[in-house]
Amino acid sequence: RSFTLDIARWDLECEFNNTDHRTELNGVERLIVRRGQPFTINLHLRSGVYQPGGSALDLTVETGPQPSDQYGTQASFGLTDQIDTSRWSAAITSPPGNMVSLSICSPPDAPIGRWRLTLGQGGRVDFVLLYNPWCTGDVVYMDSEEKLREYILAQDGIIYRGGWKYPIPTPWNYGQFEDGILNACLRILDMNPKCLRNPGKDASGRRNPIYVSRVLSAMVNCNDDKGVLLGRWTDDYDGGVSPLSWKGSVEILRNWDTNACQPVRFGQCWVFAAVACSVSRALGIPCRLVTNYNSAHDTNSDLVIERYVDENGQLVQKSRDMIWNYHCWVENWMTRPDLKPGFDGWQVMDPTPQEKSEGVYCCGPIPLKAIKEGELAYKYDAPFVFAEVNADVHTFMKRKDGTTKKIISSVHVGLKISTKSVGSDRREDITHLYKYPEGSDEEREAFTKANHQNKLLQQQDNAGLLIVIKVSADMRKGCDFDVFAVITNNTPNEKKCRLVFGSRAVSYNGILGENCGFKDLLNVQLAPGEEKRVALRMNYSKYAENLTEDNLIRLAALLLDYGTQEAYLAVRNVVLVNPEIKVRILGEPKENRKLAAEITLQNPLPVPLQNCCFTVEGSNLTGGQIVTERLNSTVEPGQDAKVKIYFTPTHSGLRKLVVDFDSNKLCHVKGYRNVIIGK
């Protein structure tokens, strides 16, 4: 006959368990464990001693507001001789005595979230259960320790912005283990409309990262729900801040959590993606942020982007179809038991609100393999993502009399798809994971499957005149520089042409601003085989006031052949480069020891800078806070803006100190410094 253990008190061993489960960076004040892996609780008995085979203990675990065995949100179990990692189980791992080590394990497909554990008659213990990519039985299992260090444990990273010819690395502080962030992430799950409608079913659904990824892609934007961020793609940020002012996810998630889930203003694609990455990593889903250059936004699912230009080669907005200079989303790692074999691994999930899916602004998860193979019937949202990297671009000229004419222009979408490398700050090109080499048999096969007829019919029609735009090597903000239209006559005949060469400020999602310089040459003559270079001067005095915060200028060169009436268009976006922020660490970086950083930026503009301000943040560096240092003085052209900032690192390891500089004429310049913190 067995006696029920008489428990006086217990010790959750949070420091030991959290470290063993790789959650200790969340803090060791509460129990945070991963599914499919045992954790240990020490029980101190009031009376009697534990005897193997002669002691009993009933345990119950439950999660969510309506726990049930059927939904897998409740389980009752007793002691067994040893742990069974495939289901809820408990075993005692200590010798006989009045202190008992109780080992408990959850199944690798248990729903994640907040759980309650009841020990016999008396004790109730709360703990948080997360996905476990270290556990072979978990659908998010990843077999590389190095990749897990990057895709789960790294609290900072690099986001690629700029343009495909000039990707600009921007640092970001994901901060998924900072104080309060895990609570905010669990609250995102609790506030999602599916949970509010049917909390019991939603709690059960949390076993499945496909379900949770889809919920996150809807909840990071606030278009249909009490989501985290409100998007804004105009220059008016009244009532909030410019998306470019954020340096990390911590402030955004905290603002949302502490302000009764009111949306944080404002986000754009890289901010939505970065917050989704923080939340995915916090919950235990391996995640990386990806940038697609020349990203197509196909609103009517015909895989064609139609663009219209006027007779000066300038875009006129006629359709909602757009080409974004770049677009960011995330990839989450998981198996796809709901699809046929071969589609496990990275899945696209896009939280930027663009088009509705099943009535809600969300997108994904869809396997990269499905995009590459042209399997557009697969879940979720394959046609939209396929178009982002493969759509065809048709350009038409809209004449003054209202007629339109197709013009010859080569624009490719889905270029230089980029993510941060594992374990280094280098850019990794992952375009090959999304598409086959251009012109290959496999590409044609994928396009046939996807019914992408336009791409299949395309022949390279090079009608003998060629126009391209070339730029200077150094296009720094504040400088005057030249850009060139280069025209080549590959025909045996002399050509007489008109060249319209213009430039306009543009935002990263393709919205055009004001004119930055323009030239109209009515009589360009080219002998057979001749090449001509036509320069357009870009003056700071002209472009300074028109630039958006994205620092982009769109160049368009339209060539009209008087003889054949054909029109040729070359388009290129140039990125004006911000000055470098230099960060010097003073002293030896050690845990819990005050440290100083000297931060410098040289004014590259021909005008003085006023209201200069540096802000700094870094996971485990600045205590989850943002450190701000203002300059009282004006910084003259060529002079340095310089500050000293103090902070106290809390954990050892490699960390990023992320810096933002802001002023009246030079806004949101980003920089960073990797700091290795010693023990």
What is the model's pLDDT at position 96?
86
Query: For 388-432, how does the pLDDT look when each residue is reduced to its tens digit (9 = 90+)?
Result: 999 988 899 998 898 999 998 888 899 999 999 999 999 999 999
Query: Do 3-130 and 145-455 have matching folds?
Result: no
Q: Check whether 255 is labelled as a binding-site residue.
A: no
Q: When comparing pLDDT for 468 and 3, which is higher?
A: 468
The amino acid occupying position 270 is: W
Q: Where are the domains of the chain?
A: 3-130, 145-455, 459-575, 581-677
What is the CATH T-level fold of the domain 459-575, as seen in this structure? Immunoglobulin-like (2.60.40)
Give the pLDDT band (50/70/90) at residue 18. very high
Question: What pLDDT, on the 0 to 100 scale, is given for residue 1?
Answer: 60
- Architecture per CATH, 581-677: Sandwich (2.60)
Closest CA to 188 of 231, 223, 228: 228
Region 124-151 average pLDDT:
98
Q: Which of 156, 202, 350, 381 is catalytic?
A: 350
Reduce the secondary structure of 470-525 to three states and give it as a string. EECCCCECCCCEEEEEEEEECCCCCEEEEEEEEEEEECCCCCEEEEEEEEEEEEEE
Residue 239's contacts (CB-CB under 8 Å, 6 or more residues apart) are: 265
pLDDT in tens, 50-60: 888 888 899 99
* Angstrom distance (rounded) from CA 300 to CA 378: 18
Q: What is the DSSP letter of 335?
A: -
- Express each pLDDT in 309-330 by its tens digit: 988 888 887 777 789 999 999 9
**Residue 644 to residue 599: CA distance in whole angstroms:** 6
Instruction: Over range 36-62, report the average pLDDT.
Output: 91
To the question of whether residue 443 is assigned a binding role by annotation, the answer is yes
CATH 2.60.40.10 applies to domain 3-130: yes
Which two three-digit tokens encode residue 114?
């907040």
User: Could you read off the pLDDT of 144-180 as tens digits, one per residue?
Assistant: 999 999 999 999 999 999 999 999 999 999 999 999 9
145 is an annotated ligand-binding site residue: no
* pLDDT tens column, 200-219: 999 999 999 999 999 999 99
pLDDT given for residue 122 in this prediction:
73
* Residues recorded for the chain: 679
Give the residue-averaged pLDDT of 182-189.
98
CA distances from 52 to 94, 120, 366, 556, 623 (A): 10, 17, 50, 81, 47
The pLDDT-based confidence of 454 (bands split at 50, 70, 90) is low
**Is residue 453's pLDDT more than 80?**
no
pLDDT at 473: 81
For residue 269, indicate whether it is catalytic.
yes
* Options 3.30.450.20, 3.20.20.120, 3.40.190.10, 3.90.260.10; CATH of 145-455: 3.90.260.10
Mark out the alpha helices in 366-510 (DSSP H runs).
368-373, 382-390, 431-434, 441-449, 453-457
pLDDT for 236 equals 87
Q: Residue 327 catalytic?
A: yes
287 is catalytic: no
Q: From the CA atom positions of the chain, what is the Rg in Å?
A: 29
pTM of the model: 0.95
Give the model's pLDDT for residue 352.
95
pLDDT at 460 over 60: no
pLDDT tens digit sequence for 250-270: 999 999 999 999 999 999 999
Query: Is the Cβ–Cβ distance between 309 and 396 less than 8 Å?
Result: yes
Average pLDDT over residues 76-100: 94
- pLDDT digits 0-9 by tens, 564-604: 999 999 999 999 999 999 999 999 999 999 999 999 999 99
> Could you report the per-residue pLDDT of 474-486, keeping only the tens digit for each?
799 999 999 999 9
Which one of 222, 261, 269, 277 is the catalytic residue? 269
Residue 302: pLDDT band by 50, 70, 90 thresholds?
Answer: confident
Q: Which residues of 163-183 are buried (b: 16+ CB within 10 A; e: fewer)?
A: bbeebbbbbbbbbbbbeebbb
Residue 390 labeled ligand binder? yes
Beta-strand ranges (E) seen in 335-391 are 345-349, 356-357, 360-361, 366-367
| Active-site option among 327, 328, 550, 668 | 327
Average pLDDT, the chain: 94
